[in-house]
């Protein structure tokens, strides 16, 4: 356990379903991130939140909708996904200004869209 918990670990959903991924950290970090990791592709930064405010959205399709109700929780709401959205979704957190601690990552949610 790294201190960042992601649920569920695995998710299979149909293209018409709506589901949510959850990320939780109790490390006292102020910043939280969503990354997408597809096979044979670099890590893709999707969203950044600092002190609950979204500070970065890297041209992510609107079928992905993030929510950050407080500094400890981050959600990724999914709807009408495509098969190419199948990937490992990683959440990370950090202090403002990463310093020598860098990011702390969760174990990820393996998403399969059928």
Partner 1 sequence: GEDVEQSLFLSVREGDSSVINCTYTDSSSTYLYWYKQEPGAGLQLLTYIFSNMDMKQDQRLTVLLNKKDKHLSLRIADTQTGDSAIYFCAESGSGNTGKLIFGQGTTLQVKP
Residue nearer to partner 1 on the CB measure, 2 or 82? 2
Cβ(93)–Cβ(52) below 8 Å: no
Choose which of 2, 7, 57, 112 interacts with partner 1 (CB under 8 A).
2
Residue nearer to partner 1 on the CB measure, 23 or 81? 23
If one asks whether residue 4 binds partner 1 (CB under 8 A), the answer comes out as yes
Length of the chain: 114
Q: Could you give the residue ranges of the DSSP H alpha helices within the chain?
A: none
Q: CB of 5: closest distance to partner 1 in angstroms?
A: 11
Distance CA 79, CA 93 (A): 24
If one asks whether residue 108 binds partner 1 (CB under 8 A), the answer comes out as yes
Residues that bind partner 1 (CB under 8 A): 2, 4, 6, 31, 41-43, 45, 48, 50, 56, 90, 92, 94-108, 110
């Amino acid at each position: 356990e790294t201190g960042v918990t992601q649920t569920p670990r695995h998710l299979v959903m149909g293209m018409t379903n709506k589901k949510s991924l959850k990320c939780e950290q109790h490390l006292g970090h102020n910043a939280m991130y969503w990354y997408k990791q597809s096979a044979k592709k670099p890590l893709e930064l999707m969203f950044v939140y600092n002190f609950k405010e979204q500070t970065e959205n890297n041209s992510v399709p609107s079928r992905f909708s993030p929510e950050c109700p407080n500094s400890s929780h981050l959600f990724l709401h999914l709807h009408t996904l495509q098969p190419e959205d199948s990937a490992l979704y990683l959440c990370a957190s950090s202090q403002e200004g990463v310093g020598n601690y860098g990011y702390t990552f969760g174990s990820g949610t393996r998403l399969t869209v059928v």
